[in-house]
A = this chain, B = another copy of it.
Amino acid sequence: MNLKSLAEALGLSQTTVSRALNGYPEVSEATRKRVEEAAVRFGYRPNSRAKGLATGRAMLIGQVIPTSTQHEMVNPVFGDFVAGASQNLAQHGYDMLLTRVPGDDEGKVYREFRARGAVDGVIIQAPDVKDDRIALLNRIGLPFIVHGRSTGVTEPYSWVDVNNTQAFRRATEFLLQLGHRRIALINGLERMDFAFRRRKGYIQALENAGLSADPQLMCTDEMTEQFGYMKTRRMLAFEDPPTAFLCASMISAVGIRRALQEAQLVMGRDVSVIIHDDDLSYLRNGEEIPIFTATRSSVRHAGEVLADALMQLISDPDHPPINQLLEAQLVVGSSTGPAPLKAARLPS
């Protein structure tokens, strides 16, 4: 059933039927009723592509599946983020278009999006420090918003980000207050902006306390369970091991826990751990009492906020860039406690 046959069945012109269904005022209420009823009865729905061609809008938001180039690892945050974002996109009639990057030229995808008119806007995930996608998108004039920020990019752009620096500064301060002096940082890849900022916050807190960061206690890699496990084992064997770990990911923290328990150490007593918790729906940090003390910020909520902002940007092309900084909560769980008098140490 298309517009033409619906119009014929009603004995009306396509114009009138189209207007009736799209809420234009030049149609009498009686006619509109009649049209709407018929549309439901015949199960008429306007063809997406025809409508898009006529209106010039795709009603789609593009997104590249965020896989690390190194191990083709899919960002574990992706599912929840997408769930949040598309929920709010859907409220505006938008769907999400997902694509893989052939080779490693993500810029090519965006140029294609633009040239083909395939999407009306784009979401950028996991920006690096000095991410060049931002300049590209500004240049080609495709509406976009970044989930995260990019240190070093000076031109204006829209973003929704968690205050990572602040979160990790607070978390570090919290550990310092508990008497910890040797605090390890198990960080994500520091070419990524969020990890860069977290380290910054960590170092700031240490320096404010008159301490300097020990390079041996800072490590950075993809946030796997294995990574947390290996680094914890190694650091616990140091002459002067850390008494606390600050960890950028719930998943790596599971590895930390494994290493600690293997070493017969009790988390929160022998060694303290604070994590950043994206509040992933499939990996919740405990219901009432969190397992881990954490800086918490729901990535799903970030998706919702970001989607709303993008909808604004698209509906008003002259809208100035939207910047929204979300603060992380510091929730106290059972993985932290006062620094032990004598640091636990593993034989190397």
Residues of A that sit less than 8 Å from B by CB: 1, 43-50, 52-53, 58, 60, 65, 67, 71-76, 78-80, 82-83, 86-87, 90, 95-100, 102, 111-112, 115-118, 223-226, 251, 254, 257-258, 261, 280-284, 286-287, 291
Contacts and interface: CB of A to CB of B under 8 A. Distances in A.
Q: Identify which of A1, A49, A87, A225 gathers the most chain B CB atoms within 10 Å of its CB.
A: A49
A206 to B, nearest CB: 29
A10 to B, nearest CB: 18
Contacts of A258: 257, 291
Nearest to A52: B49
A3 B37 CA distance: 40
A226 to B, nearest CB: 6
Contact residues of A: prevailing secondary structure: mixed
A253 to B, nearest CB: 11
B97 A45 contact: no
Given A53-B53, A74-B282, A90 B83 contact: no
Copies of the chain in the assembly: 2
B65 A282 contact: no
A96 to B, nearest CB: 4
Given A78-B78, A225-B284, 17 more contacts: A48-B116, A49-B53, A65-B83, A72-B83, A73-B281, A74-B282, A76-B76, A78-B79, A86-B99, A87-B100, A95-B99, A96-B97, A96-B99, A223-B282, A225-B283, A258-B291, A261-B261
A159 B58 CA distance: 31
Contact of A100 (B86, B97, B225): B86
Nearest to A63: B98
Contacts of A118: 48, 95
Contacts of A53: 47, 49-50, 53
A79 B75 CA distance: 8
Nearest to A222: B282
In order of increasing CB-CB distance, the 7 nearest A-B pairs are A45-B115, A74-B79, A76-B282, A261-B261, A49-B52, A73-B281, A96-B98
